[in-house]
């Protein structure tokens, strides 16, 4: 990924040097872009059956709808750029992400979003896509604000203030879409 980013930057500067002579790469964050990541177990683990059956959760904090995109890097000839992945289409109907998947079951003040939420491998291949991760981020950000407001853990927030969290998530989604 670092090579791709730096290469793109260099190519832009070389193609039109007069236009981009002042272009500077001011920050480059490092994220190992692997198809798999360490996930944290929440109070609920969203399963493939939940996704396929469009399970409805009272504590739904986000809605996703992506296909499953599985990577198999164990093959010595694996190359993500050449399409060495398996795309499993779904019906693309939205499915709920329960808030219980966005906080840790073991660490009181830890929440997560994106590919780190409480899901198994196959479901993780769907929730890790950018639009989905953004929804998780909105939910976790709204939850963090309410946890501070009420001086509670994410679990207690889920138990006591879920309706308020849902309202705050909708407000934040509306702000983002403007």
Question: Where are the domains positioned within the chain?
Answer: 1-33, 35-177
Confidence (pTM)? 0.73
User: pLDDT tens digit string along 24-66?
Assistant: 877 776 655 555 556 789 999 999 999 989 999 999 999 988 7
Do 51 and 72 form a contact (C-beta atoms < 8 A)?
no
DSSP letter at 103 equals: B
pLDDT at residue 124 is higher than 60? yes
CA distance 57 to 122: 20
User: pLDDT tens digit string along 68-117?
Assistant: 777 666 666 656 555 556 667 767 788 999 999 999 999 999 999 988 89
- Cα dist. 133→8, 14, 20, 23, 68 in Å? 24, 34, 32, 29, 14
- Cα dist. 112→72, 91, 116, 132 in Å? 24, 27, 6, 13
């Amino acid at each position: 990924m670092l090579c791709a980013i730096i290469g793109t930057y260099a190519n832009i500067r070389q193609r039109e040097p007069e236009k981009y002579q002042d272009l500077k790469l001011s920050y480059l964050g490092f994220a190992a872009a692997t198809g798999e990541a360490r996930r944290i177990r929440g109070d609920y683990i969203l399963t493939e059956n939940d996704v396929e059956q469009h399970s409805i959760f009272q504590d739904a904090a986000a809605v996703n709808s992506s296909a499953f995109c599985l990577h198999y890097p164990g093959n010595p000839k694996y190359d993500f750029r050449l399409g060495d992945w398996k795309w499993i289409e779904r019906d693309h109907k939205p499915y709920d992400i329960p808030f219980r998947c966005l906080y840790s079951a073991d660490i009181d003040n830890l929440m997560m979003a994106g590919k780190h939420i409480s899901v198994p491998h196959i479901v993780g291949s769907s929730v890790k896509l950018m639009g989905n991760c953004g929804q998780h981020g909105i939910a976790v950000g709204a939850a963090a604000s309410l946890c501070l407001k009420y001086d509670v853990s994410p679990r207690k927030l889920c138990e006591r203030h879920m309706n308020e969290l849902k309202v705050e998530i909708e407000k934040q989604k509306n702000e983002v879409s403007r």
